Amino acid sequence: MKETFGAVPPGPQPSAPPPPGALAAKVRTLAPSMTRSMQRVAEAVAGDPAGSAALTVTGLAERTGTSEATVVRTARILGYPGYRDLRLALAALAAEQAAGRAPAVTADIAVDDPLAEVVAKLAQEEAQCLADTAAGLDTAQLEAAVGALATARRVDVYGIGASNLVGQDLVQKLLRIGLLAHAPADPHLAVTNAVQLRAGDVAVAITHSGRTTDVIEPLRVAFEHGATTVAITGRPQGEIAQYADHVLTTSSARESELRPAAMSSRTSQLLVVDCLFIGVAQRTYETAAPALSDSYEALAHRHAP
């Protein structure tokens, strides 16, 4: 590997391919798929970006009581080509949070919190969740997914429970711009539907855990039948990724007793769904725009004057 040699064009290209500030979020998202020693490393870099950026691989390995290999592996999991790049990102992150605003850590919602506080904390948590998701979303994957949807002959959306509602949201939106979409709530029906899919069709699976059998199964079937498959999940390493052409990662904020992870995942998922929708609407603007206003007008008489 020659690293970034001739590959860099002489022109100005300031944008950063690796996400800048999403590190803490990514650590949280990916921690479950890490081994113990990797988690130690991830914790160290998330906890002290500045300090870690000052260390070499060997130094960081020593500080975390692991080996160089583990440090590199962790960097890979976090989405960087190697430690060198993680280190750069750490330096950037440190500067950013030194210069910028406080990360604003919210306390968990407690049983005896007054309602006013509950409202504030919930709003804050969900906002954080949105920021994390936006920061961690892989634009290239999104682009690919949007492209597939925009030209899809037919779209199936698989999700169970709360995720099914998100799926229905997507379906409602897609229908409004003229796409053919379904979000079967019944797992058997989902598989039955999936069998019908072929190349040119798109299947979207939504599952926070990435391990929900009832959602993996229809996606697998769709995948094997040649449909383009998209997974919206909080565990991009999960089993579901095996059957997904494009993986869109949602971030899960910390969970508390009263607010399980499943609850906050919905916010992330909806953001991703909205992005998909807007993307598709942009690409099919000629037909989407009139379809949107048509559907608006068609509903007008259902409202009181």
Site residues for DNA, window 88-127 (CB under 7 A)?
none
Closest CA to 166 of 269, 247, 275, 281: 269
Whether residue 42 contacts residue 78, with contact meaning beta carbons closer than 8 Å, is answered with yes
Comparing CB distances to DNA, the nearer of 64 and 228 is 64
Closest approach of DNA to the CB of residue 212, in Å: 20
Distance of alpha carbon 204 from alpha carbon 131, whole angstroms: 23
Distances (CA, A) of 212 to 44, 89, 90, 259: 31, 33, 34, 20
What residues from 77 to 116 belong to the interface with a second copy (CB under 8 A)?
A: 87-89, 91-96, 98-100, 109, 111-113, 115-116
Q: Which stretch binds a second copy (CB under 8 A): 25-33, 137-145, 150-158, 193-201?
A: 137-145
Q: Which stretch binds DNA (CB under 7 A): 3-11, 132-140, 163-171, 235-243?
A: 3-11
Whether residue 181 contacts residue 155, with contact meaning beta carbons closer than 8 Å, is answered with yes
68 binds DNA (CB under 7 A): yes
Handedness of CA 165, 169, 174, 179 (dihedral sign): positive
Burial class (CB in 10 A: 0-12, 13-18, 19+), 114: exposed
Comparing CB distances to DNA, the nearer of 2 and 303 is 2
Closest approach of a second copy to the CB of residue 198, in Å: 26
206 pairs with which residues across the strands? 159, 232
Q: Which two tokens stand for residue 234?
A: 């909080």
What residues from 6 to 45 belong to the interface with a second copy (CB under 8 A)?
A: 8, 10, 12-14, 16, 20-21
If contact means CB under 5 to 8 A according to the sort of partner, which of DNA, a second copy, none does residue 227 touch?
A: none
Comparing CB distances to DNA, the nearer of 56 and 293 is 56
Interface pattern 185-214 for a second copy (x via CB under 8 A) = ------------------------x-xxxx
Comparing CB distances to DNA, the nearer of 75 and 271 is 75
Q: Which two tokens stand for residue 133?
A: 């998701």
274 binds a second copy (CB under 8 A): yes
What residues from 38 to 57 belong to the interface with DNA (CB under 7 A)?
A: 38, 56-57
158 binds DNA (CB under 7 A): no
Q: Scanning the structure block, which residue is given the tokens 């199936």?
A: 156
Closest approach of DNA to the CB of residue 29, in Å: 17
Whether residue 70 contacts residue 36, with contact meaning beta carbons closer than 8 Å, is answered with no
Closest CA to 264 of 113, 128, 119, 110: 128
Binding site for DNA (CB under 7 A): 1-7, 35-38, 56-58, 65-73, 75, 81-85, 87
